[in-house]
Chains A and B, each alone.
Chain A
């Protein structure tokens, strides 16, 4: 589980999947930008659409590496982010053993193949609560940053500001922070669970 955070691992393969229109490719682009511009690493992005440009399956493949990247396509991702059930079904078989799975819990129902641990967030619902459903991807990005630490928090934040349409920076930052807080809370919850302390009263 913690392999990707290990400093010796120099290359992280991330696949983000979902429907067209969810901002999957933008998420990939921000992620790559954060790694390259913020963390001064190498990164590549390959995007693929299904036959329909809206509502069809869509994915973004992001490679983040300390060294030169020779091949941008990903066969077996270290981290898989799913925002649709079809995307999940298509890629879950390829997730590396011990890889991290992040899902939108209202859109994806993971099966047995997902293993025992995955990270879920109601990103779309949270975005709706914020008033903009389209920001679910940014919430997911915040969640991703907090959980995987594949890119640093500041870089991700700056990349969000630099990539979203002018005038929406504040809203998007809010969404990012919300996702990030949720991720940190999730990690804290896991830690508490591992320590056997889930309640407030012993």
Chain B
């Protein structure tokens, strides 16, 4: 029999009594089960459930109080939702939903509990070990002054003239956070990375606006990326949001044996050709939609299906990477270069092996990572990377295609990766002008000077991020537009999150749609 690990989260109130009864009578509890007593099943978030699998669990069971018997009222209801979503996520990532279960018991149902525990253990034994290889934790390393100095000189931060243009442009500073890129740069130059400096390093949005403004062309974002890499080695936490769920998900995907199943939701009308030399790289939308389902009306999967429909429209039936993993963007930007490289190599190798000539993606972050960061970090890529908008411009430019006139007033949220990092702020605007909308009104800060959506790489979300998002939404509202067009799934998620602000009511609500979906709905052959 395989050596398997099962984690049993047991609520302190109802079922723990039942479990204790089993212990008292020395019942035959399967030895594979490790019990963790918890205050309430409602507090075991999707992130905690998922992390158990990342760290090597083969099965997880969450045992709580019977509905209505929850001491805190909503615990069981929350647990039901969390389990449903996490099971779907496990299915998408290829671990399998049957490895996670929820059960509820009353204090006196010890026999039924024992029966279920045995049954679940047998089931997991049958399934065998999970393929996930837990990444080994490392002992924190000391960051020497030399290492810091090396990073500083690599990015030529010494050329900082102390002019403060970065801080005066920084969206975080402008929203009132005591944060200054210049001060961070100076501290690191002086070899000081005390805890407040560290906090600032994790707070940076890496939106790149300071680099736009810097007269000495110090690429602060890239500098932050490298400093985070050093920090990550010296400390355990990385200021992750959402309980670190997304980082855990990305690390899980570094397991080479994992067979992800992220395309299972694809609608039937979308045409795919396994032998095509053009590959559509989707990105993490299916995970986002499942994870955020409870909170917002997030539907970023539409971006992927509409993008493929647009390719189909031009008679391109792309291949998909069946075992597609995250591009690794967020790991790279949160200091985890090792795992970024693992993902990059796995993706690049899989695409190379298919003999793909052109990779098309609609995600600005995937575009940046695949097209820029993979090669920069020495990953061998034998294909061209094209953004969907470039492809559309190329094809629409050939003629005989038009876009239906849009009888709405619209405004556009730039993606930092596309508009600033890749200097392509004109590209979505060309497409927007082809839509001939009733009105296209730019927000106050726009194109390469656009305001960030408030977060990047799933780290450092705080009240200031929220304030930033509210500010951006107010700018969008003040253009008088009815529709906010986005080009990055994360801009959509973050801005929609801010729209839910209960204190603002409907003040911030504005219909939001991705450009790819809009084009797909209005394009036609003349």
Stretch of A60-68, A110-118, A184-192 on the interface side: A184-192
- What's the interface size class on A, roughly? 10 to 19
The interface residues of chain A lying within 8 Å CB-to-CB of B395 are: 185
A residues within 8 A CB of B400? 182, 185-186, 188-189
Complex contact B399–A185 (CB within 8 A): yes
| Interface-located stretch among A14-22, A73-81, A193-201 | A193-201
Q: Is there an interface contact between A189 and B526, defined as CB atoms closer than 8 Å?
A: yes
Residues of B within 8 A of A192 (CB): 525
B401 within 8 A of A: yes
**Any A CB within 8 A of the CB of B398:** yes
Give the docked Cα–Cα distance between A178 and B399 (Å): 9
Once bound together, how far apart are the Cα atoms of A59 and B346, in whole Å? 62
Per-residue interface assignment for chain B, residues 379 to 407, with 1 indicating a CB less than 8 Å from any chain A CB and 0 otherwise? 00000000000000001001111000000
Known A-B contacts A200-B309, A200-B312, A200-B313; the reply to A185 vs B523 at CB < 8 A is: no
Interface size of B by CB at 8 A reads: 19
A192 CA to B314 CA, complexed, in Å: 10
| Cross-chain contact B525 with A189 (CB below 8 angstroms) | yes
Q: Complex formed: what's the CA distance from A201 to B404 in Å? A: 13
Question: In the complex the two chains form, is B398's CB within 8 Å of A181's CB?
Answer: yes
B24 at the interface (CB under 8 A from A): no
Out of B306, B399, B524, which one reaches A182, CB within 8 Å?
B399
Contact with A along B259-299 (1 / 0, CB 8 A): 00000000001000000000000000000000000000000
Q: Is A201's CB under 8 angstroms from B398's CB?
A: no
Residue of B nearest to A184 (CB): B398
Contact of B523 among A121, A188, A199 (CB under 8 A): A199
**CB nearest neighbor in B for A186:** B400
Shortest CB–CB separation between residue A64 and chain B, in angstroms? 26
B523 engages A200 (CB within 8 Å): yes
**Contact among A122, A189, A190 for B401, CB-based, below 8 A:** A189
Contacts of A193 in B (CB 8 A): 525
B residues 286-334 near A (Cβ < 8 Å) are: 306, 309-310, 312-313, 315
The contact of B521 among A184, A190, A201, by CB within 8 Å, is A201
Which A residues are in CB contact (< 8 Å) with B519? Answer: 200
Q: Quick check: is B258 within 8 A (CB to CB) of the other chain?
A: no
Q: Is B520 part of the contact surface with A, judged by Cβ < 8 Å?
A: yes
Query: Which of B309, B399, B524 contacts A181, CB < 8 Å?
Result: B399
With a cutoff of 8 Å between Cβ atoms, the chain B residues found around residue A122 in the complex are: 399
Contact B310 A188, beta carbon cutoff 8 Å: no
Chain A residue at smallest Cβ distance from B526 = A189
Give a binary string over B33-59; 1 marks a CB under 8 Å from any A CB, 0 the rest: 000000000000000000000000000
Chain A proximity of B325: nearest CB distance (Å)? 28
B393 to A: closest C-beta gap in Å = 13
Bound CA span A80–B25, Å: 98
Report B-chain residues with C-beta under 8 Å of the C-beta of A202.
Answer: 269
B307 to nearest A CB, angstroms?
10
From B398, B520, B526, contact of A200 by CB (8 A): B520
Q: In whole Å, how far is B519's beta carbon from the nearest beta carbon of chain A?
A: 8
Asked whether, in the complex, the Cβ of A121 is within 8 Å of the Cβ of B399, the reply is yes
Q: Are A200 and B401 neighbours in the complex by a CB distance under 8 Å?
A: no
* Complex-state Cα separation, A185 to B526, whole angstroms: 10
The distance in angstroms between the C-alpha atoms of A121 and B524, with both chains bound, is: 17
Scoring B269, B306, B521, B526 by chain A CB atoms within 10 A of each residue's CB, the highest score goes to B526
Question: A186 and B309: CB pair below 8 A?
Answer: no
Q: Hey, what's the 0/1 contact readout for A119-157 against B, CB within 8 Å counting as 1?
A: 001100000000000000000000000000000000000
By a CB distance below 8 angstroms, the chain A residues around B310 are 200
* Cα–Cα, bound, A181→B401 (Å): 12
| 468-524 of chain B: CB within 8 A of chain A | 519-521, 523-524
**Is there contact, CB below 8 Å, between B309 and A188?**
no
Question: Chain B residues with Cβ under 8 A from A200's Cβ?
Answer: 306, 309-310, 312-313, 519-521, 523-524
Identify the closest chain A residue to B523 (Cβ): A200
A198→B314 CA distance, assembly (Å): 11
Residue with the highest number of chain A CB atoms closer than 10 Å, among B312, B398, B523: B398
Task: Report Cα–Cα, A121/B399, bound state, in Å.
Answer: 8
Are A198 and B269 CB-contacts (below 8 A) given A182-B399, A185-B400, A186-B399?
Answer: no
How far, in whole Å, are A190 and B312 apart by their CA atoms in the complex? Answer: 16
Which B residues are CB-close (under 8 A) to A121?
399
**Are B398 and A185 within 8 A (Cβ)?**
yes
Contact B399 A201 (CB under 8 A): no
- Bound together, the chains give a CA A198 to CA B523 distance in angstroms of 8
The answer to whether A188 and B399 touch (CB under 8 A), given A200-B313, A200-B520, is no
**Contacts of A182 on B, CB cut-off 8 Å?**
398-400
Could you list 30 A-B pairs, sorted by A, with CB under 8 Å? A121-B399, A122-B399, A178-B398, A181-B398, A181-B399, A185-B395, A185-B398, A185-B400, A185-B401, A186-B526, A188-B400, A189-B400, A189-B401, A189-B525, A189-B526, A192-B525, A193-B525, A198-B524, A198-B525, A199-B313, A199-B521, A200-B306, A200-B309, A200-B310, A200-B520, A200-B521, A200-B523, A200-B524, A201-B306, A201-B309
List the 5 closest A-B pairs by CB distance, nearest first: A189-B525, A182-B399, A185-B400, A200-B313, A181-B398
Q: In the complex, given contacts A200-B520, A201-B520, what are 18 additional A-B residue pairs having Cβ atoms less than 8 angstroms apart?
A: A122-B399, A178-B398, A181-B399, A182-B400, A185-B400, A186-B399, A186-B400, A188-B315, A188-B400, A189-B401, A189-B525, A189-B526, A190-B525, A200-B310, A200-B313, A200-B523, A201-B309, A201-B521
